[in-house]
Chains A and B, each alone.
Chain A
Amino acid sequence: MKGTRKHIVLTTILVIFLILISLIVLYPIVFVVSAAFAPGNTATGLSIIPFADGFTLDHFTYLFNETNFTLWFQNTLIIAICTSALSVIVCSLAAYIFSRFKFTLKKTMLMALLVLQIFPSFVGMIAIYVIINRMHAYDQLWGLVLVYVAGNVPYNTWLVKSYLDTIPKSLDEAARIDGANHFTIFSRVVLPIAKPILIFLAITTFTGPWMDWIFPKLVLGSNEKQTLALGLFSFVTDRKDQFTTFAAGALLVAVPFIFFFVITQKQQTESLGAAAVKE
């Protein structure tokens, strides 16, 4: 009897604790959702109770009609798709070659990739700015895509290479005996087997550009060429306080993002574990 009573008390405390944490976790999220539909402009003008200010869709119509929101969305989408596609192509090709061929300086190159992957991308920020200007790629979406893809190569080539190493080479050889050339083996035999890692690569490189702020700020200048992160940020700067508009935009970005996260969660959580040391 005593045991069950103790158990009930413990469970109640746990539930209260969990609810409390949930409230803290949900607090800013609920607040943003309510702000997106609330009349007014600034965060300080809003009631502290969510949804107490009334309901309006003004911020959404403002976003679509009077700002470049759709353009920003389009830019970000183009950048994300191109970055993802190019990263998958470049990394999988390089990984395949590193995994299957023997050539001079291979070891050195692999080591170099590893060392380069240590550098945080911002270290080369200044130089990338100069190079982008030198290539006349300033304020061009493709310039940003190049920067992203190059940044993705060192780590992801290793990632895919490690995966390809686990695919038995006898498969390649069987295809080679059937008269397939390297490219056919790569595209018809190896790539289909490597699908899980390529999907993971596509997902991570696709989500990366959405909320990056440093490089778009560096490479893209004009308002029409901006990405969502830059655009949304411009609503809540020191000079401007349009928190409710920002909230509406943030909602439009975060909802698909969470959706995407839920769909790809299996791959993403698996990758979390995969990063750990497996004995």
Chain B
Amino acid sequence: MGTSLATDGSDRKKVLYTSLIFMGLGHIVRLKEWVKGIFFALIEVIFICFIPLICTKLYDLVNIGVDQSSITDASQRKMSTFMMIDGFVAIAFIAIFAVIYYISVKSALHSYEDYCVNGQYADNRDALRGISGKAFPIVGLTPALALIIFFVIVPLVFAAASGFTNWSNPDHIPPGGSVNWVGLENYIDMFGGNATWASSFGRIAIWTLIWGACATGTSYFAGMVMAVILNEAKIKIKPLFRAIFILPYAIPSILSMMVWKNLLNGSAGTVNRTLRAIGILGETQSIGWLSDSTMAKFTCILINLWQGFPYFMMLIAGQMTAISADIFEAAAIDGANKVQIFKSITLPMVLYQTIPLIIMSFTFNINNFGVIFFLTGGAPNVTSTTTTKAGATDIIVTWIYKLTMDDMNYKYASVLAMVVFVVLTPFAIFNFKNTKSFKEGEL
């Protein structure tokens, strides 16, 4: 054991195997790096101490639906949902441990390479001194990683997993009832197995896509028109108009949506009364802005336009000023008129620059909870609403929200969330591929 290692790299395997046997062993036995070795070994010892606990948690995760009726004291019964979350947290810990193990082996091999170059063991005093330096990345990353693991990754895994359980009202809600794994049942239901749910899903999915496209398209078009007008018009009070048009963007969306809801509400709503007062509607007529299924959809898109065009107006105006004046001058010298300049210079350039933002806006609108939820709340109801809770204007996000908060139908909510994810991922990847850091290969 005391023999020194070969410096020609031939003992790489020795170091590798010793490191694999027990975390840190390679550092201690082969490389005489006591500080690092003991640190890694301690981690493994701590992990081994927790193995029984982790195993129970994993066992519980598999058997979340275990019959606990023999336990008379209800407060002593384990809740299926807690068993699930604990199980995934346990898996997270195993994963963290595996990563540290991997890092320790890598570190041992790295030290061996250094040894081959230097011909001598690293000084342990250096390791001690270097701790403030070497530990900095670890200490600095820990908060970010811990937050991401426990509040982003574990919830996502949990959410994906609940789609494979029967977690729903009324029989399978802890602590009263227990949840159990059911395989692909919910997915089969949603994609055709259960006629009511499948038809609701189809209806909502189509409307969600139409909504996403219309909401983005109308806002972009209107923003473009306003930007061009404000750019070209020779009016003195232009800044005033610009300030007014930006207002809907500056006001928190939830507030404006709730105001619009009250303005458009019912036949006695302010908008209907105003239309009657100025004679557009007859004395007894009223427009069912939010109460008619088709009209409500138009209203959603209209109100979203009210709120959404300033963003694109500002954006496009910014892009238009960024186009070099030389190009316009050259075009003007060549005898192009304003329409031609707009058509063949401004429009293509602006469009090209804003395509990623259009896509971002589309994915945002697909998930635009605020407008739909606070304006219509998914209403008006249709025939299947009593069973599936999906109203005429509900998009998938608001439907998920209703299923979760009002109906406690977590199993179907989870299936829907996964659908949204699968549909949106390609868009996100497309946008990512357009980012600067990706193109320059800095990743």
Q: A residues bordering B, Cβ < 8 Å?
A: 11, 14-15, 17-18, 21-22, 24-26, 28-29, 31-32, 43-44, 46, 48, 89-91, 93-94, 96-97, 101, 103-105, 107, 109-111, 113-114, 116-120, 122-128, 130-131, 134, 146-147, 149-151, 153-154, 157, 162, 165, 181-183, 186, 210-211, 213-214, 217-218, 229, 232-233, 236, 243, 246-247, 250, 253-254, 257-258, 261-262, 269, 272-273, 275-278
Contacts and interface: CB of A to CB of B under 8 A. Distances in A.
Given A123-B156, A277-B436, A97 B137 contact: yes
A11 to B, nearest CB: 7
B116 interface: no
A29 B154 contact: no
5 contacts: A11-B233, A28-B259, A116-B148, A118-B424, A122-B367
Contacts of B143: 89-90, 93-94
A17 B270 CA distance: 23
Interface stretch (B59-67, B204-212, B246-254, B291-299): B246-254
Contacts of B273: 48
A43 B159 CA distance: 40
Main secondary structure of the interface of A (DSSP, over half): helix
B140 A96 contact: yes
B133 A131 contact: no
A120 B252 contact: no
A114 B400 CA distance: 24
B45 interface: no
B140 A126 contact: no
B265 A118 contact: no
Contacts of B252: 210-211, 229, 253-254, 257
A223 to B, nearest CB: 18
- Closest 6 CB pairs between A and B? A124-B155, A150-B151, A127-B155, A127-B158, A94-B144, A211-B252
Given A11-B233, A97-B140, A126-B413, A211 B254 contact: yes
Interface stretch (B69-77, B181-189, B353-361): B353-361
Nearest to A92: B140
A105 B100 CA distance: 10
A11 B234 contact: yes
B155 A43 contact: no
Interface in B92-138: 99, 102-103, 106-107, 132-133, 136-137
A258 B270 contact: no
A151 B151 contact: yes
B349 to A, nearest CB: 11
Contact of B397 (A122, A153, A278): A122
B266 to A, nearest CB: 7
B213 interface: no
Interface string B350-379: 000111110010000001011001100000
Interface string B248-278: 1111111110111111011011100110010
Interface stretch (B3-11, B194-202, B340-348, B414-422): B414-422
B437 A131 contact: no
Q: Counting chain B CB atoms within 10 Å of each CB, which of A89, A151, A250 scores highest? A: A250
Q: Counting chain B CB atoms within 10 Å of each CB, which of A28, A211, A217, A250 scores highest? A: A28
A170 B306 CA distance: 49
B322 A253 contact: no
B250 A127 contact: no
A110 B273 CA distance: 56
Nearest to A42: B262
A181 B429 CA distance: 38
B55 interface: no
B50 interface: no
B319 A273 contact: yes
B46 interface: no
Contacts of B413: 126
B103 A131 contact: no
B356 A276 contact: yes
Contacts of A109: 145
B interface bracket (residues with beta carbon within 8 Å of A): 35 or more
A185 to B, nearest CB: 10
A278 B434 CA distance: 9
A97 to B, nearest CB: 5
A89 B408 CA distance: 37
Contact of A14 (B233, B262, B373): B233
Contacts of A261: 249-250
A203 to B, nearest CB: 13
Nearest to A44: B268
A116 B152 contact: yes
Nearest to B155: A124
Contacts of B414: 126
A130 B357 contact: no
Contacts of A91: 144
Nearest to A108: B99
A262 to B, nearest CB: 8
Nearest to B436: A278
Contacts of A125: 155, 159, 400-401, 404
B404 A126 contact: yes
A118 B428 contact: yes
A147 B151 contact: yes
Contacts of A210: 252
A131 B261 CA distance: 34
B142 to A, nearest CB: 9
B152 A151 contact: yes
A225 to B, nearest CB: 18
A43 B147 contact: no
Nearest to B413: A126
A246 B258 contact: yes
B49 interface: no
B318 A130 contact: no
A116 B147 CA distance: 12
Nearest to A251: B255
Contacts of A153: 144, 147-148, 152
